[in-house]
Chains A and B, each alone.
Chain A
Amino acid sequence: MNPVTFGLAFAFGCFGIALLMNLWRLFRSDSLGDRILALDTMVINAIALLALYGIAAETTVYFEAALLFALTGFVSSVAYARFLLRGNIVE
């Protein structure tokens, strides 16, 4: 068996379970900061899954999607945190 195939399968499983744990944290949480953190971690795990799928499919198309995920995830996390801190986003 090709070691890369095994590594890909293992990492796919790990990040899938990680996404489920983030969902659990998102639903069973008592503060808004924790929910933003769980969403940010979900974005990071989704980027990892996209990169893994890019390796598996041997194409570079998914890196564009991963870049977009990284940018929008960062901006949305910071905007939500700033809204909680200041009551508005753009002053």
Chain B
Amino acid sequence: MNKRHKQVKFILPGFIFYTCFIILPIIYVFYLSFFQWSGLGEMKFNGIQNFVTIFTDERFSPVFFNALWNNIKYLLCVWLIITPFQYLMAYLFFIKIPAYKYLKFMIFMPYVISTTIISFFATLIFNPNIGFLNKFLEAVGLEHLQGAWFGDPNWAFKLMILLILWQGAGSGVMIFYSNFMDISKDVMEASRIDGCTEWQRFTRILVPLSLPSCASVITMSTIWALALFDLPFILGGAKGGVSGSLDFVNLVFYRYTFGSALNGKSEIGFGASICVVMFAVMLIITTIQNKVLKKFEYDN
């Protein structure tokens, strides 16, 4: 091997595997989206017909838009509820509220538990027949408050947000927290000597200095918000819950690709085009979001 290309033998194995199993599939999905193909037999080139079907088919497009709307609703919850919650939590740990070490340990713990098990816990608590919550309400004489919980379209979405808040918030809290800890002690000290109030320190020092990390956390949670699958699938079933209250784009994709919901046969090409649309939405939203977040960034 040429002496000047020593790096090749180190990079090549990783490059091959990574390209084959991570990058190639992304390109392949774009290619597939232009075909009509059931997975067996001949692939028929279909142009943009699949995309036309997604947006105009009178049977499919309401389902799709309902799912997309749920994704957007969830994304808004991430921006307006989950991220502020994480930020606040990180701040509380930063100012060392009593027992903060224990709290930090416990609040991050659900993060290492699988979403399947989180759904299992949710079943224990919210199952309408044997779940703990309904039994508890019965025991204290509040039967009229009993509900079908995940079987109730008014409750399902809200409960899912609570579950995600409980399980998924930990990672963001830790990232915000570690960024607070990175802020130079001198700055904090100086602010204290200058007589900053706690509120001033929070708004004038912590918030501006931790914005770059916020940007990356928000970008990642946006991507994951649009790719949400596990919890609604396990708790609401592949059909997306009662009257589509837990239906998300990814569930639609799964149903139509592997579950043969369009014409009674599996539609690989059609499924791929749903993926492409989802990917495009993701790109558009993260691009806009980064533009907006850049505006708030300080030069430091």
Say whether A and B bind each other.
no
B interface residue numbers (CB < 8 A to A): none
A interface residue numbers (CB < 8 A to B): none
